[in-house]
């Protein structure tokens, strides 16, 4: 990033003094005091539902300040003194990247999940990567823009529409869009979400480089990946400040608390399943690909993929961002038209020879990194979870007493009964993920497809979600799981399919080491 000198990069100072913020007339933070000094780089840490995203919204001026003080100072240029500015001008000096920001690029409410795989002919205007970047107001020179595009490996993606990007590619696009604004303060909400190991290393280097160029960083996370240039950590718990620590002290405290939790954790906890039967299992082979090829506009996405998943097998689908994992899953779960031009068998039957897509979906439970973007209607957590019974984005008109009990039982399993009535659109990304995980298992499916299921979850919820999966993964249940983290692949998964640049790299039938995760 040698060319990306920020001509107006100065310093930002934020002071909160006994500040109380509200959302829809409800207090979310009370008597909050915190200071962000010039030159400091902060990470905001906390579990799912701790208040990280809400805290960022409060700083960004998106929540009313009921009482107390909020002071924002900005150095307009290198030689100027810090000047107090109105909180409403926060956006003029900062760039915010959130996990849920993608829906600002495109109206997902008018789309449907399978559309990303359909013909490009559509009534909905879906922007390309080039169009999204071109719409950013920037003072960057042409050379600087090219450097950002190259740095984030977006050059080949410029003609691609947003809806066809992988989750990791979308994250890179969001970061590039923010860097084009040359912000004085770059705010990142769970920035490593959805990135493979190489991309996480690249992003870590980018963040460190951005700091060197004079831009301050405010990073929210529930993971332990905190770039080396971060100087301090604000630890939130239940919308309160738990601790203010240096980076080094934070890791010491995290290690101590993590060891204590592991010692006291209940490893034997099971979910009390109701009597809802498993989707019918009258097949020997769940999924079979025979020399599958997928191309879009002369670009090969998958090449000569052969893969057989027998009933009851548990598979991890591994590969870097853009390797074709999402496309493989779309051929199984979504109505990808290219499935009908290939030899693909689901539940012993070739796709397109009888069963409708809805007949197939009845046997599957599914969650993906971007699924939350399609729920734009004002639904509660219970209502979104209940759509798992319909295999659509629409809640059932009625629920049986047994179904209501089943849903409540699952929310109680995560100790989050509060999410039953909470509006889905007001939940954090992690809370939404819990709801969608519940949605995927409610009908006790024969085939579970979990695509990066633990994104946005903190350690304790990862452990609980893994336990949920274990409860459902009976000997007859088939599982396909995608993850970029070795420690997120449960021990009962013993088949590994490695994908690289759209081709089969290798298959293994034993646990993998962390360095083999792409």
Q: State whether 201 and 313 are in the same domain.
A: no
pLDDT score recorded for residue 457? 85
Q: Mind giving me the DSSP string for 203-239?
A: HHHHHHHHHHTT-EEEEEESSS---TT--EEEEEETT
- 316-325, 353-362, 370-379: which range is least confident on average? 353-362
Which of the listed ranges 19-33, 50-64, 381-395 does the model predict with the highest average pLDDT? 19-33
Mean pLDDT value across residues 183-201: 83
CATH number, domain containing residue 340: 3.40.50.300
Predicted pLDDT of residue 98: 77
Q: What is the mean pLDDT of residues 255-262?
A: 67
- Res 141 pLDDT > 90: no
Q: What's the whole-number mean pLDDT along residues 345-358? A: 84
pLDDT at position 111 is 46
Which tens digit of pLDDT belongs to each residue from 390-428? 888 788 889 999 999 999 999 999 999 999 999 998 888
Does residue 271 belong to any structural domain of this protein? no
Q: For residue 293, how many C-alpha atoms fall within 13 Å in the half-sphere facing its CB?
A: 6
Examine the pLDDT at 300 and tell me if it is beyond 60.
yes
Per-residue pLDDT band at 269 (split at 50, 70, 90): low
**Helix 167-179 to helix 142-151 angle, to the nearest 10 degrees?**
150
Can you give the three-state secondary structure of 292-328, one letter per residue?
A: EEEEECCEEEEEEEEEEEECCCEEEEECCCCCCHHHH
Cα Rg, the chain, nearest whole Å: 23
Whether pLDDT at 31 is above 90: yes
Specify the higher pLDDT residue, 459 or 125: 459
| Average pLDDT for 177-202 | 83
The predicted pLDDT at position 412 comes to 94
d(CA 5, CA 89): 23
Q: Domain containing 231: what range?
A: 12-261
Q: How many helices (H) and strands (E) does the chain have?
A: 13, 20
249 and 321 belong to one structural domain: no
Q: Which residue has the tokens 């420690």?
A: 487
Nearest CA to 26 out of 239, 182, 216 is that of: 239
Task: Check pLDDT > 70 for residue 265.
Answer: no
Encode pLDDT of 212-236 as tens digits.
Answer: 878 899 999 887 778 889 999 999 9
Whether 475 shows a pLDDT value over 60: the answer reads yes
Residue 451 located in a structural domain: yes
Are 249 and 316 part of one and the same domain?
Answer: no
pLDDT confidence bin for 69, thresholds 50/70/90: very high
Beta bridge partners, 246, equal: 232
Q: What is the pLDDT of residue 338?
A: 84
pLDDT of residue 262: 52
195 plus 335 within the same structural domain: no
370 lies in a domain?
A: yes
pTM of the model: 0.80
In sequence order, the 6+-apart residues with CB closer than 8 A to the CB of 223 are: 190, 192, 458
- 246 and 309 co-located in one domain: no
Please indicate, yes or no, if residue 254 is contained in any of the structural domains.
yes
Average pLDDT over residues 153-168: 81
- Greater confidence, 476 or 166? 476
d(CA 469, CA 479): 9
Query: Is 4 a residue whose pLDDT tops 70?
Result: no
Residues of the chain with pLDDT > 90, as a percent, come to 41
Question: Which tokens go with 347?
Answer: 């539940």
Answer whether residue 93 shows pLDDT above 60.
Answer: yes
For residue 299, count CB atoms less than 10 angstroms from its CB and return exposed for 0-12, middle for 13-18, buried for 19 or more.
exposed
The angle, 0 to 180 degrees and rounded to 10, between the axes of the packed helices 401-413 and 429-441 is 130
Lowest mean pLDDT among 249-253, 283-287, 373-377, 458-462: 373-377
- 419 near 411, Cβ under 8 Å? yes
Residue where one domain finishes, among candidates 261, 296, 319: 261
103 and 199 share a domain? yes
409 and 441, same domain (yes or no): yes
Yes or no: say if 165 and 301 are a contact pair by the CB < 8 Å rule: no
Among the listed ranges 27-36, 92-101, 371-380, 435-444, which one has the minimum average pLDDT value? 92-101
The residue out of 261, 277, 311 marking a domain boundary is 261
Q: Which residues pair with 240 in a beta bridge?
A: 237
Task: Examine the fold and report which residue of 206, 226, 261 is the final residue of a domain before the chain moves on.
Answer: 261
Q: Cα(84)–Cα(75) distance, rounded to whole angstroms?
A: 9
Q: Are 315 and 509 in contact (CB under 8 A)?
A: no
Tell me, yes or no, whether 193 and 249 share the same domain.
yes
pLDDT recorded at residue 515: 43
Residues 485 and 361 in one domain: yes
What confidence score (pLDDT) does residue 307 get?
A: 96
C-alpha 342/C-alpha 322 separation (Å) is: 21
What confidence score (pLDDT) does residue 103 get? 47
Please give the residue that has the higher pLDDT: either 235 or 459: 235
Residue 31 Ramachandran class (φ > 0 left, ψ -120 to 50 alpha, else beta): left
The pLDDT mean for the chain works out to 83
Give the residue with greater pLDDT, 348 vs 361.
Answer: 348
Question: Three-state SS for 499?
Answer: strand
230 and 368 in a common domain: no
In 3D space, the residue among 474, 432, 439 whose CA is nearest the CA of residue 457 turns out to be: 432
> Given the structure tokens 């906890």, which residue do they identify?
269
pLDDT for 106 equals 46
Q: Quick check: is 2 in a domain?
A: no
User: Of 99-108, 251-260, 499-508, which range is least confident?
Assistant: 99-108
Q: Which of 279, 271, 300 is nearest to 470 (CA)?
A: 271
- Is residue 405 located within the same domain as residue 313? yes
Asked if the structure places residue 373 within a domain, the reply is: yes
Taking Cα atoms as reference points, which of 75, 319, 94 lies closest to residue 189? 94
Query: What are 14's strand-pairing partners?
Result: 36, 72
DSSP state of 190: S
Supply the pLDDT for residue 167: 65
User: How would you label 340-376 residue by residue, b for 16+ Cβ within 10 Å and e otherwise?
Assistant: eebebbbbeebbeeebebeebbbbbbbbbbbbbbbbb
User: d(Cα 322, Cα 471) in Å, to the nearest integer?
Assistant: 31
pLDDT at 162: 78
Task: Report the Cα–Cα distance between both ends of the chain, in Å, rounded.
Answer: 25
Residue 455 scores a pLDDT above 90: no
pLDDT score recorded for residue 274: 52
Question: Sorting pLDDT into bands at 50, 70 and 90, what band is 275?
Answer: low
Confidence of residue 161 (pLDDT cuts 50, 70, 90): confident
Q: Which pLDDT belongs to residue 107?
A: 47
Residue 397 and residue 451 in one domain: yes
Residue 415 falls inside a structural domain: yes
Pairing of strands 285-296, 343-346: antiparallel
Whether residue 448 is contained in a domain is answered as yes
Q: Which residue has the higher pLDDT, 344 or 334?
A: 344
Domain tally for the chain? Answer: 2
């Amino acid at each position: 990033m040698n060319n990306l000198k920020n001509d107006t990069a100065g310093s930002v100072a934020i002071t909160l003094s006994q500040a109380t913020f509200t959302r829809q007339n409800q207090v979310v933070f009370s008597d909050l005091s915190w200071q962000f000094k010039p030159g400091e780089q902060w990470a905001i840490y906390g579990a799912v539902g701790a208040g990280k995203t809400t805290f960022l919204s409060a700083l960004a001026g998106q929540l009313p300040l009921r009482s107390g003080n909020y002071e924002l100072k900005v150095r307009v240029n290198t030689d100027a003194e810090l000047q107090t500015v109105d909180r409403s001008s926060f956006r003029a000096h900062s760039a915010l990247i959130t996990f849920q920001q993608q829906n600002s690029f495109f109206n997902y409410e008018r789309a449907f999940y399978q559309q990303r795989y359909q013909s490009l002919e559509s009534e909905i205007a879906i922007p390309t990567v080039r169009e999204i970047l071109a719409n950013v107001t920037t003072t960057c020179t042409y050379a600087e823009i090219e450097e950002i595009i190259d740095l984030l490996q977006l050059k080949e993606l410029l003609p691609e529409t947003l809806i066809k990007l992988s989750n990791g590619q979308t994250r890179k696009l969001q970061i590039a869009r923010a860097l084009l604004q040359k912000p004085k303060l770059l705010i990142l909400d769970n920035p490593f979400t959805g990135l493979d190991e190489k991309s996480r290393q690249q992003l870590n280097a980018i963040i460190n480089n951005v700091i060197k160029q004079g831009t301050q960083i405010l990073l929210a996370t529930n993971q332990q990946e905190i770039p080396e240039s971060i100087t301090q950590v604000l630890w939130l718990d239940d919308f309160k400040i738990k601790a203010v620590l240096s980076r080094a002290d934070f890791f010491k405290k995290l290690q101590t608390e993590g060891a204590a939790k592991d010692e006291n954790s209940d490893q034997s906890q099971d979910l009390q399943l109701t009597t809802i039967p498993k989707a019918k299992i009258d097949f020997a082979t769940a999924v079979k690909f025979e020399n599958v090829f997928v191309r879009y506009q002369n670009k090969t996405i998958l090449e000569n993929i052969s893969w057989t998943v027998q009933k009851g097998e548990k598979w991890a689908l591994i590969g870097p961002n853009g390797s074709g994992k999402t496309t493989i899953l779309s051929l199984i779960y979504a109505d990808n038209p290219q499935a009908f031009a290939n030899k693909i068998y689901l539940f012993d039957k070739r796709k397109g020879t009888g069963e409708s897509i809805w007949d197939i979906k009845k046997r599957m439970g599914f969650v993906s990194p971007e699924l939350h973007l399609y729920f734009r209607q004002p639904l509660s957590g219970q209502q979104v979870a209940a759509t798992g019974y319909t295999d659509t984005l629409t809640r059932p008109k009625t629920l049986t007493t047994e179904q209501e009990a089943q849903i409540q039982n699952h929310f109680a399993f995560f100790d989050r009964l509060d999410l039953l009535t909470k509006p889905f659109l007001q939940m954090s990304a992690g809370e939404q993920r819990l709801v969608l995980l519940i949605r995927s298992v409610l009908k006790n499916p024969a085939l579970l497809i979990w695509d990066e299921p633990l994104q946005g979850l903190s350690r304790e919820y990862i452990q609980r979600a893994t336990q949920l999966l274990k409860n459902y993964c009976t000997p007859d249940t088939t599982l396909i799981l995608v993850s970029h983290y070795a420690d997120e692949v449960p021990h009962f998964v013993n088949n590994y399919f490695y994908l690289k640049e759209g081709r089969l790299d290798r298959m293994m039938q034993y646990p993998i080491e962390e360095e083999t995760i792409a």
